[in-house]
Structure 1
Amino acid sequence: MHMSCSTAAMSSWFWQMNKVVLMSVWLVSVASAAAEQSTTLRWEGYYLPAADVGPENPLPMFRGPNEDEPPRVDPAIPAEERQYLGWRVAWRALPYRIQDGYTRQKQLRCLDALVLENQTLRAVFLPQLGGRLVSLIHKAASRELLARNPVFQPANLALRNAWFSGGVEWNTTLRGHYYLTCSPVFAAQVQGTQGEPVLRLYEWDRVRCFPWQIDFHLPPGSPVLLAHIRIWNPHDVEIPMYWWTNIAVPERNDVRVLVPAETGLTHSYERGELTIAKLPRYEGRDMTYTTQSQRAYDLFARIGQGQRRWITALDGQGRGLFEVSTDRLRGRKIFAWGMSQGGRRWQEFLAQPGFAYLEIQAGLAQTQMESLPMPPKTAWQWTEAFGLLEVDPKIVHGPDWTAAWKAADEALEKILPRSQMDMWNQKFIEVSIRPPQRVLQMASGWAALERRRCQAQGLPDPLPAHLPFPPESLGTEQAPWL
């Protein structure tokens, strides 16, 4: 057992700082071993003013009669882009219970964090809160690449209600913020391609009944954090599948989002219709500068066939975080709250006055209004990379949109060539089925219960051998079925 929070004393000094304070306790590797390794994985205490998630609501929340929700669509959108729009995206929560027991009473708390670090980057994860990547610091540049929320404040925005802003979240199964956003996930340490530690986060999804995992790689000397995702359909039938990685980055007047596309599909929350927008300007405003819009909006990029898939948010100096992936992760999106009083209030309500963020996102489909059919007995795998991008600001913020995104595309190729990422992806596929060296955190017992059910009925084990769901994870919630 780790003791990152339980052994640390809280002091009133932390209150006066009014910001996140990271206190290190080395437990995964001792200091002497860490000094010899260029990549380390360890527990830390992550301190910040935080509200309590509170108890789950015991009352079931039933879904509507329809599983599909076809959106209103501009007739100009080609048929091939409309094929799965609205398919299997209707809200549902059961068998999960609603998380609505939180308050707005915050006090200083210590959250258990896992820190993956090499010479260049320092990544901080919260495995008790869905594995959220809350901080990614580029050490040489002394720069936080993410919008790191200075508080933890749930609000009613997720599939189970409770959701918090900031960092990078991992959403699967169904359109929306994932069921485990404010719940623990399993964490384990795996041996990487060069013997370095790899952080694996994983769980069993109770709605579609499948296991998912994310292996976080930070090879020695790597300028990027790599996330290798593996989803497994253990069934004999096709299931609907959804995945979107949502990345919060600072929002300012000088921040421009670049994506390798000439057009996009935009969704107006007022009109509720999906329409084609020529980039970067639409209805008199530049949609790649989120502070130019009074209203909240989604913009899904229409990236051409064969084009490398990435998105970045660059400031007035041409610097900022980028995300890039192998080809399976097709979609890219910009989300903004808008500059109206309501949009600004939402930002503050989720954090504190002065904290503003926008989101750049990446997903399996072109939009978030669709699921994709996943064949039976199939694994889908891909790799994403996150890092610091630097591009000539005169081009980034110049009048030529195509020149701007192509300059970023060229800069990205120099930092992380497409061929190198494809090579890494193949190596990570091999690592993804390695059993872990140790389990760092236990989560729910639902996967272990599913294994018991299948054994009792003489059915094949739906759980991969490389994902430990030990009997010790069974608890009081599973007791009625045992």
Structure 2
Amino acid sequence: MSMISRFCAVRRHSALACGLGLSATALAGSVSAAAGVQLASGVQQPAAQARISEEVLLLDTYPFSDPDPIPILASDPRLYPYHAFRGYSPASEPREWRVVRMENDLIEVFVLPEAGGKVWGAVVKETGHEFIYRNEVMKFRDIALRGPWTSGGVEFNFGVIGHTPATATPVDYTVRENADGSVSTFVGAMDLPSRTHWRVEIRLPPDKGYFETHALWYNPTPLEQPYYNWMTAAAFAQDDLELFVPGQSYLEHSGRERPWPLDEQGRFLPLYRNNAFGGNKSYHVVGELNDFFGGYYHDDGYGWGHWARYEDMPGQKMWLWSLARDGGIWEDLLTDTDGQYVEFQAGRLLVQYQPGDHVNPVTQAAFDPISASAWTETWFPLEGTGGLTDASREGAMRVEREDDGTSVAVTVQAFGDVTDTLRVWSGDELVAAEPVDLAALRPQRVSFAIDAERAFRVAVPALDLDYSSDPAVRALDRPFEMDLEAWENTPEADRLVFQARELAKGRRYGQARELFEAAAAVAPWNRGALLGLADLDLRSARYEEGLEHARRALQLDTYDAAANFMAGNLYHALGRDVDAREAFGWAARAVAFRTASYVRLAEIMTGAGKWGEAERYARLALDFDRNSVPAWQLLAALGRLAGDAAAVREAHDALLEIDPLHHFVLAERYLADPTADNAGALTGAMYSEYPDQSLLELAVAYAGWGLGEDAVSVLDVAASAAWEQSWPQLDGEGGG
């Protein structure tokens, strides 16, 4: 058992002096007592080794309470079947929290599985600088979609909008030591309204001054779902803070474009203290092809940053509370002694879209049926760099002109030890090649003479750093304004369909139906209106009506892939599997629906008892999406039914590699050998707020494949399970 210790207040400059060296349960070659994960054995230990441990800490907690008995359908149908919480404590009390500590010789990272799985904070060991702001109290206040939220750390948001529904409650998690010397904490949950699954691996390398987050988010349903993801990190708000977010403009939530870094009044917005006007600030910065952004405290000499490939995370947002009292009150409401914070947020989209009166090309996004997204991000500290001009996964660099532009000063920081040559070009002329021997997180500064009239370039190849002073090489030509004539000249039915699609992507299905029906009244054969109504009918089990709409769309184009996929789902729901197979076959010819169609065909064949054909279709799905969780799940079940141990092992290994948190493998082990121990292993691995829903989802999947007996067996486990949940953040029964 980990020791229980009162966690003292840790500040930017004194983290180590405050007692971060608390003893903890080491996870060295044994089974983790809390997460139940067997560590790798028989693997030669690398020269460097990160460490991971779990401990229980007493943290001052302002709990929440009063689950709302009124269904959330009455206030926000988008969140059903979740409920809201209405009670918040004005006073704190010490509560026990499970904390995962990950560390190497350079940095420490802390994770809270019981608070949405978020990264609680991260600190540089040598300096004590927190490059991820850690709130030392768990002070829940009514901010998130369901109510409770607490500030600080890195929050993982997946779903429809705003803070994820699981942000303040326990999620599933497990920990792992990796063969390369790194350590990982996996956190995740199912978003109940969409039935999508999100997972984040927080990975700390053995010898680097950063940590990574590897995200997986997949939609196993045959329906389009809302697509919203932002990773929200916190940093200290200080007058000496300068934001380094490269771009030419920023977007408001509605998509309206505004100037950046100078606003219309000439204020330099990246300086935190220059934002002492107006209310809270949301800067979604756009306009340059860059993979990084960050911030730096000029007086304190340190900072923080984020790196991800632009195609993965194009969204770069800064959130600032109002610098007036209307923002300052939240410092008191959300913290005790840690002070105000800012948020640097990385997203899969350009903005956190909220519809407005301004007409522009920015919209909401949709999650394709039976598809997945995966990406990697890097979170790093800056130590003595003076700012941030370029960054990569391996290092960061600050570049500044000096002496009236006749010299350039370069400060380079590597995240690991490296030797390289720093090169500088003035125009096309190489003017310097300086060997550099860089130690991790130890900045090195050099200066070079250049031509004041010419653009210059600085490169450190081993760190993948390459900066040009000419902004034109990074500028993007993407329009954020719509010509009003384009909208006015769009047929009325198409405008209505567009608006209805936006509502549907935001899970506002009732309002979407009204507009789809209005479009169909104007143009009865409008393809978008027909498919939109068919989709809503499928969601609401109005299968006959939906099929009529889909068939009308197919009368317009018999090869229409989207119409065939929709028709296949409706035929299958009606038990007309001959027609469903034919429709899915046509849909599979389009890349957009290929994997999804093959998975649906595999499901139909599984239910028909044609296991060989089911396996063929599942493997065809994997040919086009090797990480298709539904396809691997089908192969695992088919292998068990056929008694093929090799196929079962292959599928289980693949699933655990793709998604170590999914309970399907444990369910399969129970179905293959229904013992009390295997039932206990299945239920004992469920840490989330709704373990019963996790089992129900498994049962729904088996029933959908025509494996009714398996579904009943899983439901029997759910009926006999006795979960003992004790949340430190919840007042009343089950709290503390």
TM-score under structure 1 length normalisation = 0.75
CA drift of 1:389 comes to 2.3
Give distance in 2, aligned partners of 1:282 and 1:138: 38
Partner of residue 351, structure 1: 335
Report the equivalent of 1:455. 702
Higher relative contact order by CA 8 Å / sep ≥ 6: 1 or 2? 1
Deviations 1:128-148 (A, max 9, x none): 000121110111332111222
Contact 1:63 1:92 in 2 (8 A): no
Aligned equivalent of 1:360 = 344
Partner of 2:79: 93
Secondary structure, aligned partner of 2:132:
coil
Contact 1:53 1:154 (8 Å CA) reproduced: yes
Is the contact made by 1:192 and 1:217 (CA closer than 8 Å) also made in structure 2?
no
Q: Which residue of 1 aligns with 2:143?
A: 157
What is the SS of the residue equivalent to 1:451? helix
* Alignment of structure 1 residues 47-446 onto 2, 5 Å: 47-62=58-73, 92-190=78-176, 192=178, 194=180, 196-266=182-252, 274-292=256-274, 293-294=276-277, 295-304=279-288, 307-316=289-298, 319-326=302-309, 327-352=311-336, 355-369=339-353, 371-390=364-383, 391-392=385-386, 417=464, 432-433=657-658, 435=660, 442-443=687-688, 444-445=690-691, 446=693
Q: Could you list the per-position Cα deviations for residues 170-211 of structure 1 after superposition, in whole angstroms to 9, with x for gaps in the alignment?
A: 111021111111111111124536154321112111011111
CA gap 1:36/1:394 in 2 versus in 1, 3 angstroms: closer
Are the aligned partners of 2:173 and 2:687 in contact in 1 as well (CA < 8 Å)? yes
Identity %: 22
Q: Which amino acid aligns with 1:296?
A: N
Q: Find the aligned partners of 2:168 and 2:241 in 1 and give their Cα distance.
A: 29
Alpha-carbon distance change, 92 to 418 in structure 1, aligned in 2, over 3 angstroms? farther
Q: Distance in 2 between matches of 1:180 and 1:14?
A: 27
Question: Which has the higher Rg, Structure 1 or Structure 2?
Answer: 2
Over residues 219-270 of structure 1, what are the superposed CA-to-partner deviations in whole Å (9 max), with x where a residue is unaligned? 2102210000011111223222110011110011110111121211145xxx
User: Amino acid of the residue matched to residue 140 of structure 2?
Assistant: P
Residue identity matched to 1:28: L
Amino acid across the alignment from 2:262: P
Change (3 A) 1:416 1:170: farther
Aligned-residue offset at 1:342: 1.0
| Rounded Cα–Cα distance in structure 1 between residues aligned with 2:707 and 2:180 | 34
* Structure ranking higher in helix proportion: 2
Contact residue 251 and residue 290 of structure 1 kept, 8 A:
yes
- The alignment covers a number of residue pairs equal to 419
Alpha-carbon distance, 1:94 to partner: 1.4
Q: 1:319 to 1:14 in 2, by over 3 A?
A: closer
Unpaired segments ≥5 residues, structure 1: 65-89, 420-427, 462-469, 478-482
Give 1:339 deviation, angstroms.
Answer: 1.1
Would you say the 8 A contact 1:448–1:471 is kept in 2? yes
Distance 1:358 1:442 in 2: 30
Alpha-carbon offset, residue 151 of structure 1: 1.4
Counterpart Cα distance in 2 of 1:260 and 1:158: 29
Deviation at 1:99, TM superposition (A): 2.1
CA RMSD of aligned residues (A): 4.1
One-letter identity of the residue aligned with 1:376 = P
> How far apart, in 2, do the equivalents of 1:386 and 1:172 lie?
19
In the aligned structure 1, how far is the partner of 2:19 from the partner of 2:192? 35
**In the alignment, is residue 26 of structure 1 matched against residue 48 of structure 2?**
no
In the TM superposition, what whole-angstrom CA distance separates every residue of 1:15-49 from its partner, at most 9, and x where no partner exists? 9x9x9965432153379x99986212210223321
Corresponding letter in the other structure for 1:392:
G
